[in-house]
Amino acid sequence: SLPLVVDMVGRSLRSGASFAQALDEAKVDAPPVAHLELSQILAEISLGRTASQSLRGWADRNKHAEIRIVAAALALASENESGTSQALAGVSQSLRDRAALRAEIRAHAAQAVASMHALVVLPVAFFVVDVLGDQGTVRFLVGEPVGRLCLAAGIVLDVTGWAWMRLLVRTRMPT
């Protein structure tokens, strides 16, 4: 909802509203979470804090990078009149691009997770099929010393591969 809020503030500023009026107008149509945040910022401004101070407080309360970007852009807009609509439009587009990139990364990560599950489950599934079948592989893996070594190595490699792939997918996922 942040790009929407930035767009609404920019639109109000372009129409000639003051910064506080622009925040108040954006608050009316903002989604519930943004409405609460804008209400708190406006309450702080009405108590005598500057817009920049109130926006910095908002950024400090919320550690998301997008909120910090929006707070900085709005603080700049509260202090400078010229070029703020273009700057706010750029911030809004940047936030939309970040959201699209995050969605694309999640889609690719979903493919990696599916591959990870397949690579872990398939050896177990083949083992189960052999247990239900002629059990020649099971006799070798359980009855022979080399077979037990192969079974142990296979389990260790399967679990290690699962843990490694899970680590790779988790560290690459955006928040």
pTM of the model as a whole: 0.61
DSSP assignment string, 36-66: HHHHHHHHHHHTT--HHHHHHHHHHH---HH
- Distance from C-alpha of 13 to C-alpha of 17, rounded to nearest angstrom: 5
Tokens of 37: 């945040």
- Residue at 158: amino acid letter: D
Helix (H, G, I), strand (E, B) or coil at 174: coil
Instruction: Inform me whether the pLDDT recorded for 148 exceeds 90.
Output: yes
pLDDT of residue 171 exceeding 80: no
Cα–Cα distance, 175 to 168 (Å, whole number): 15
80 vs 19, 47, 51, 74, CA distance in Å? 10, 22, 12, 10
The residue type found at 37 is E
Summarised one tens digit per residue, pLDDT across range 57-107 is 888 888 788 888 888 888 888 877 666 777 888 888 888 998 888 888 888
Distances (CA, A) of 149 to 126, 127, 140: 18, 16, 11
Q: Taking the CA atoms of 39, 44, 48 and 53 in sequence, report the sign of the dihedral they define.
A: negative
- CA 92 from chain centre, in angstroms, equals 17
What pLDDT sits at residue 35? 86
Average pLDDT of the residues in 130-149:
88
Tokens of 43: 């309450």
